[in-house]
Amino acid sequence: MLSQLRNKVKLLLILGFLLLIGHSSLALQGMTGIHDPSTIIKRNGVYHTWGTGDQIYHLTSTDMVHWQTAPTVFAAGTWPGWINNYVSDFKGFFWAPECIYRNGKYYMYYSCSTGQRPCAIGLATSTDLTTWTDQGMVVYSDNSTVYGSIDPAVFDDANGRFWMVFGSHLTGIWSIELDPATGKRLNNVAKNLAGSGQSEHEAAYMMQHGGYYYLFYNRGTCCAGINSTYYVQMGRSTSPDGPFVDKNGVDLLAGGGTDFLARDDNNNARFDSHYGPGHVGLLSENGVNFLSFHYYDGFHNGTPALGISNLSWDSNGWPAVTHDWLPSATYTITSPTSGKVWAYAGCNIDVTARQPLLQTTAVPGQDCQQWRLRSTGNGVYIIGSSSQGINVDVIDCNEAAGTALSIRAASPFTCQRFWVERAADGSYVLSYIYGNRVIGVPNASTTDGTVLQLLDYTGEANQRWTITPVSTVTAARSAHEAQIQLFPNPTRDGNFSVQLPAGTAATIMVTDMGGRVVYHRELSGRGSAEIITGLGAGAYVVQVKTAAGITTRKLLML
């Protein structure tokens, strides 16, 4: 285990170098290069997380999708002087920080280790997350200490007592009580909570829910990219200092532990991405539970990455996590900038050729504006027409900025797979699984027929989407639609007749292949009526809007 931890330090240093020389455009969640992320916290509209790295690696975001590097806790090449008195050969590479807000300031706990004992956990405080004052050592392990002093996580219990859970690579997970005023150790008592005598329990985290304290920790091998076997287990207790048991009632000190977060390739390893997940944290905001963690990204050569997923609770009070923010269902996808929706040109259903994916004016009930999102697992979706065997497709799997999106026959290849990520404001960002570029409206255009493209993410509204479930069509409406007919179809002179139920008023709108309105007419309850359009040859979509809803028919003019 000690050799594994030495390799961890070496690997992380190498990965840090690779990130510095890697793709500068890859700025979305999942391509941040972070390892051992702290719990996400928010200050003045900005989200923060810190991770393993020189002087304590730091990322910020305004939407929890686009993350960028920020100043470290300690200045480059510096660290508190007390550390070298206790941790030999320490060089400023900190492990697994954790931050909490209490008493009007931020408490940053950090690990000082070279992969073996001695090791220590220190504390720094700040009022603004920019200027930090070091408070010295909190807990220490010399060569004879039973526990390892790394990987801290802190929490307040229901009675206002302040605790830290920590430990790894020696004898499992431990807890100590902290002084609520200083954040330092309150007494010399340390209690073993999980993994007694076992060396592969680490990265502990504690959360409260429904009268229970839930303890999470990692097992397996970290820091080996897609070969990592890291996974998260859990147990719970009615007391913050245990005993903790798993779902089967087995004590975590007696070999218990329920798997919580692990690699899940849905029997399709080709599209797996989340290898070796670990080091969880929870941010609850606006009724949503954002679970943060790191993983090794199978789509990007095992790069360590930040994951943010959705945590919920089952009927027995146990937590569950999904990387999918939306259930597989049918939706409309709308731009919050223009109010335009996704559609394919002219509602053309020719699946043998590409049609562009474009934005157009919303027409309720129109099939070509409804999209079936089907999860393939781990937050990756196929986005297809609600009624046809065609999917949104990146042309030639080209990940370059400016690549147009199209509609094409369903394919097993990755050109048709997209991340769906939830932004902090409830909108969604959809990105191609390679390259991390997002689906957006070029130049924030509000024009009908504008073809959607892959764009470098800037956080602007033209790169976000409102995704709304489509209501089920009632049987009564279906019967009404059956009475609406167009004839002749095809038509040879640009004209046709529409048949309506007796006494039904309607609005007739014809759109071309680009989604543009080319004909409009109001009918006042006359039943069948002849429509003289004067349009040329081509494929068109006729929308018949009545009080009962909107019916869409494809019309060919020869």
Residue with tokens 């690579």: 169
Q: Which tokens belong to 385? A: 């027409």
How many residues in the chain?
Answer: 558
Residue with tokens 């937590």: 319
Q: Catalytic site residue 421?
A: no
**Active-site choice (134, 200, 202, 421):** 202
Distance of alpha carbon 438 from alpha carbon 456, whole angstroms: 6
Distance of alpha carbon 80 from alpha carbon 124, whole angstroms: 10
Distance of alpha carbon 232 from alpha carbon 203, whole angstroms: 9
Distance of alpha carbon 454 from alpha carbon 394, whole angstroms: 8
Q: Catalytic site residue 202?
A: yes
Distance of alpha carbon 474 from alpha carbon 150, whole angstroms: 59
Check: CB of residue 156 under 8 Å from CB of residue 102: yes
* Distance (Å) of CA 388 to CA 9, 324, 510: 51, 23, 21
Give the HSE-up count for residue 200: Cα atoms under 13 Å, Cβ half-sphere: 13
Phi, psi of 57 (to 5 degrees): -60, 145
Distance of alpha carbon 340 from alpha carbon 546, whole angstroms: 22
Distance of alpha carbon 525 from alpha carbon 523, whole angstroms: 6
Q: What is the DSSP letter of 403?
A: P
Strand partners, 431: 419, 438
For residue 304, what is the enclosing H or E element?
A: strand 303-313
Distance of alpha carbon 511 from alpha carbon 91, whole angstroms: 67
Residues 6+ away with beta carbon under 8 Å from 418: 380, 381, 382, 383, 392, 430, 431, 432, 433, 439
**Active-site choice (36, 98, 151, 297):** 36
- The answer for 543, left when phi > 0, alpha when psi is -120 to 50, beta otherwise, is beta
Residues 6+ away with beta carbon under 8 Å from 423: 63, 64, 65, 429, 464
Sheet containing strand 133-141, strands side by side: 53-54, 93-102, 105-112, 119-126, 133-141
The residues carrying an active-site annotation are 36, 202
